[in-house]
Structure 1
Amino acid sequence: MTTGTAPPSLRAAGWGRRAGLAVAAVLVSLAAAACTSTGPHDAQADVGSRPGAIAWTSCSGLGREFQCARVPVPLDWNRPTGRQIELAVMRRLASRPDARIGSMFVNPGGPGQSGVGLVRDSGAELDTFGGGRFDVVGWDPRGSNDSTHVQCFTSSNEQDQFWKGVSIPSTPAESVAYQHKAEELASRCAKLSGDLLTHISTADTARDLDRLRALVGDPELTYVGLSYGSMIGQTYANLFPDRVRAMMLDGIVDTVAQTTSMEANITSAVSSTDEVLAQFETLCQQAGPGRCALAGHGDTVAQRVTRLFATARRAPIPAHHANPPGVLTYGDLQVSTFAPLRSPLTWPAFAKDLEAAVSGDASNLKTAAEALQTPEALGVGATTSSSISCADAAARVPSSAWTRQIADFTDTSKLWGTVLGWWLWSPCASHWPSPDADRYTGPWNARTRTPILLINARYDPATGYRNAQAAQRRLGNAVLLTLNGYGHPSYQVPSTCVDEARVRYLVDLVTPANGTVCQPDRTPFG
């Protein structure tokens, strides 16, 4: 998203990099689904053969290595000469132009995170992925950010008033109020965004990507997709298998689960979260009080964390020094775990914040939760993510049945099931327009000339390791590289082994042996 300030590095980015990004990424992914009358060869014939060039200009406030553009694409790829929308695009020129191979397209996830923001903030680091030999190109997917985007409010003031004071419900009365809010949001988005809502599926974005590939003059695509970006990649590879030069996907989405329904999507997105919290507790216990503030108090770390959640469920915890001051509700506590569970190098600081809350001061956790629940974060992040998700997969259960459905999500994850249920499922379940007719639902078995490289941390709270294993089985000749560690995606933790494999793959098209396991250079409490 474009909200908030950018991080200095790609590894600092991930989920915690700013409020809007964190809210959006939470969705992890909902991949495209196929129009039943359009197969891959129909789509290929329609998109990639048009000549042209992008009119690059300088980017305001950035160095000469950055170039910006706005690129028109059809709203409906079945009507290529009809209404056009615009994509915001940015590239960072290769640092080794004499050895330039081509362009490397990147997407940070979401759905709906800003590829322009990723290149602006982390372009230098992404340049190293390809050994300085690629122009790094990012774009804001249709429906989001500075591209033609979903609108649900007529002004920022209207948006602020709509979301003011909204947080994850902790009581039945709050839940009813949130469900009504979701219904109103769906109505507002449909009224102001109209046909755009039914033309922002992942398949539409994959077709846009193929247009961009052709416009930069690359005969084949080189692509790096993170988190939901892996959905874009898998969709592209199955629509255009003969146009893939290299595709590296990190933090893998389960395409089958994500294209089945919004309920299946949310269930998949939270299926590994509680396991990662348990890993955090175990590593903290092993680290001891010298390296983890939650350890060494007589009870176990797991018991201490469980007691904190029980305390917050009974009554809010004071947060007098939060920004702004207030109290930490049970829902706030759940939200406050979003960034740190994805960023394991922050676990020592996270443990200190949890221990402070156990001792009665939840200020830091409250501040973290508030950053993800500002009107701006919810109005841009959650709304954009919901809109793209709804275009990919319909909800089968109406939001009026929230009691049962939220309970089902919570059975999968006590930590994030409720949060993602309200943030992402409830708008889609509230009379949202039907999913995109051109969404792609498979098959997912494409073979590419160079095998797709799948990378996943063994303990990933947002795209569980089982997703990567399933993708490796489905895709015709994909290779899975495992980081024996934590984080979402794997770049959250430095690993020389993974870094070297990336460069060999993207530059030389050499894949690691299938089943390769890399070790991290650092451990969370090391």
Structure 2
Amino acid sequence: MYIRRTLRPTWPVRASGLLLAAALLISACSSGSSTTTASTADAVLAALPRSTPSALSPYYGQKLNWRSCGVPGFECATVKAPLDYAKPGAGDIKLAVARKKATGPGKPLGSLLVNPGGPGGSAVGYLQQYAGIGYPAEVRARYDMVAVDPRGVARSEPVECLNGRQMDTYTQTDTTPDDKKETGQLVDAYQKFAEGCGARSPELLRHVSTVEAARDMDIVRSALGDQKLTYVGASYGTFLGATYAGLFPDRVGRMVLDGAMDPSIGARKLNEDQTAGFETAFRSFAKDCVRHSDCPLGGAGTSPEQVGKNLKAFFQQLDKAPIPTDDPDGRKLGEALATTGVIAAMYDEAAWPQLRGALTSAMKERDGSGLLALSDSYYERDADGKYANLMFANAAVNCLDLPAAFSTPEQVEKALPAFEKASPVFGEGLAWASLNCAYWPVKPTGEPHRIVAKGAAPILVVGTTRDPATPYPWAQSLASQLSSATLLTYVGDGHTAYGRGSACIDSAIDRYLLHGTLPPKGKRCS
């Protein structure tokens, strides 16, 4: 469904921090099959042998050749990994790695790998634009801050699918079809997207799973000279980190999983949970909105239910008659882009004033530019109409990791009541967004599973009670699965918790990273 990524005030308004409606089209397949059997639910990710297979020894013996990469204070390198771990000698993939060395003072603690989520978010970009300068000074003083773009992402041989004009068409596709004709158009959009990925990245699509990305991280760990992996993963990055812990429990150092995912649930459940999460976030926004005089969705005393109805009515108006924007390419704001813009702002309450202004301009002045800007930032579309590969990698990873939620439009139609109950505002679009992996050109290689990571060092799982993209019950579930996990709870709004303004959360995580001291069980912050 929506991309699971992490937004920071200095990080582009996107979706590990921000996410959207036609993006619904892409990220819907981030979960397991629509039905989960008892045997699947009981499946546990098995650890790999402790000894390195001889065929992988050349990869584990690599030395990184650091060089300047254009951003002051940062170094970059390339590391090789086998494209197919089952055939290590059959071809390699090159992975981009970036580092900012520890600044001191204090005893160095080795490398701290960071991943902002997605899947599809650039960890290198995140490090250079936020983590390498925005993480607490005490952490940056003791750790070399390191990031690797996962295979198929950004600088690591990116998956490609559509050109800019094709993506413009795709992101404007109606995700709330009113009849068979519009349903056919939506299905056609999914098929063209999948066909584009299959045509442009045919071999890579078979080898961008989270398991493979986690194995790549172990090669990077070895190349860095670290005995253990110290890691902070946000949103989808928690799934990547937990997968690493399941595969290499004896190599886990200090690991923070913030905005946690639940690897044990299937697609139907996952997508419904996330739909409910966006509704929870929207209700918080609605309560806040009506306290302000510039709220176009209602005044003081207007209930969240009525605010939602007012927004839904506006979406329906846009479905019939899109409104102008200042876009030089002539794009208008229709229902799909508007929904994406609204959902994007649900990732961080700091974006709520911007959303109020954008909605006011659209609803009262018939100017959709503000909502279009939010949508474009989510899709990583630049002013020249070019898209980053975020959405392509997102689909490629999600559709490979686990089977799609639905196989046919008829299955979606039967599920609509449940999704609309989960979210009267967003449920219909999110249900249809869950169909896109049905047309993927590569069969999935994974299934839902529990991750126990028996023998791993203590792991810190962080959950936010009103997180829209990774609902709090997922953090509770992951913490209960991991044999060495402690759950830290942030009682608040927004996606993820670290570095978002809670001194209680930040100090607890910093103590763990710097001293290995976990917060007490049941610790809650606000």
What's the TM-score once normalised by structure 1's chain length? 0.83
The aligned residue for residue 104 of structure 1 is 112
Q: In the TM superposition, what are the counterparts of 1:35-46 in structure 2 within 5 Å?
A: 39-42=46-49, 45-46=52-53
Q: Among residues 289, 311, 333, which one is paired with 1:308 in the alignment? A: 311
Q: 1:241 to 1:38 in 2, by over 3 A?
A: closer
Report the counterpart of residue 79 of structure 2 in structure 1: 71
**Which of 407, 430, 433 in structure 1 is aligned with 2:442?**
433
Q: 1:479 to 1:160 in 2, by over 3 A?
A: closer
Distance 1:161 1:481, change over 3 A: closer
Which of residues 182, 186, 195 is equivalent to 2:194? 186
SS at match of 2:203: helix
Residue aligning to 1:114: 122
**For 1:412, which of 422, 433, 443 is the aligned residue?**
422
For 2:233 and 2:281, locate their aligned partners in 1 and report how far apart those are by CA, in whole Å: 22
Aligned CA distance change for structure 1 residues 320 and 151 (closer, same or farther; 3 Å): closer
Using a 3 Å threshold, how does the CA distance of structure 1 residues 90 and 422 change in structure 2: closer, same or farther? farther
Distance change in 2, residues 1:162/1:277 (3 Å): closer
In structure 2, what is the equivalent of residue 487 of structure 1? 494
- What is the RMSD of the two structures over their aligned residues, measured on CA atoms? 3.6
Separation in 1, partners of 2:363, 2:114: 41
Q: Does 1:282 align with 2:317?
A: no
Shift, 1:253, TM fit: 0.5
- After superposition, the Cα gap between the structure-2 partners of 1:51 and 1:341, relative to the gap in structure 1 and judged at 3 Å, is same
Say whether the 8 Å CA contact 1:24–1:113 is kept in structure 2.
no
Listed one character per residue, the Cα deviations across residues 368-396 of structure 1 (whole Å, up to 9, x for unaligned) are 33554659677733222111001101126
Q: Which runs of 5+ in 2 are unaligned?
A: 1-6, 34-39
State the partner residue of 2:66. 56
> AA paired with 2:86?
N
Measured at CA, do residues 180 and 494 of structure 1 come closer, stay the same or move farther in structure 2, by a change above 3 Å? same
SS of equivalent residue, structure 2 residue 439: coil
Take 2:426 and 2:395, find their aligned partners in 1: how far apart are those partners? Answer: 16
Separation in structure 2 between the aligned mates of residue 495 and residue 406 of structure 1, nearest angstrom? 38
Contact 1:203 1:440 in 2 (8 A): no
Q: Secondary structure at the match of 2:48?
A: helix
* Residue 90 (structure 1) aligned with residue 95 (structure 2): no
Distance 1:171 1:129, change over 3 A: farther
Superposition pairs for residues 216-231 of structure 1, below 5 Å? 216-231=224-239
Residue 152 of structure 1 corresponds to which residue in structure 2?
Answer: 161
Q: Give the counterpart letter for 2:348 in structure 1.
A: S
1:212-234 deviation digits (Å, cap 9, x = unpaired): 00110000010000000000011
Q: Which residue pairs with 1:344 in the alignment?
A: 349
SS of residue paired to 1:271: helix
Shifted more, 355-364 versus 133-142: the winner is 355-364
The one-letter code of the counterpart of 2:10 is S
Structure 2 CA distance for partners of 1:14 and 1:169, relative to 1, 3 Å: closer
Q: Structure 2 vs 1, CA of residues 28 and 53 (structure 1 numbering), >3 Å: closer, same or farther?
A: farther
In structure 2, distance between residues paired with 1:290 and 1:159:
40
Aligned counterpart for 2:452 among listed residues 445, 458, 473: 445
Q: CA distance change for structure 1 residues 7 and 511 in 2, over 3 Å: closer, same or farther?
A: closer
Residues 31, 398 of structure 1: alpha-carbon distance in 2 compared, 3 angstrom cutoff: closer
Amino acid at match of 1:71: V
Gaps of 5+ in 1: 1-5, 520-526
Shift of 1:136: 0.9
Which residue identity is paired with 1:174?
Answer: E
% of aligned pairs identical? 29
Aligned positions of 1:331-370 closer than 5 A: 331-359=336-364, 361=366, 363=368, 364-369=370-375
The TM-score with structure 2 as length reference comes to 0.83
Which residue identity lines up with residue 312 of structure 2 in the other structure? Answer: F
Equivalent residue for 2:135, pick from 126, 138, 145: 126
Q: 1:16 to 1:504 in 2, by over 3 A?
A: closer
Offset of residue 174 of structure 1? 3.2
Post-superposition offset of 1:267:
2.9
Question: Whole-Å Cα distance in 2 between the matches of residues 101 and 492 of structure 1?
Answer: 21
For 1:458, give the aligned amino acid: T
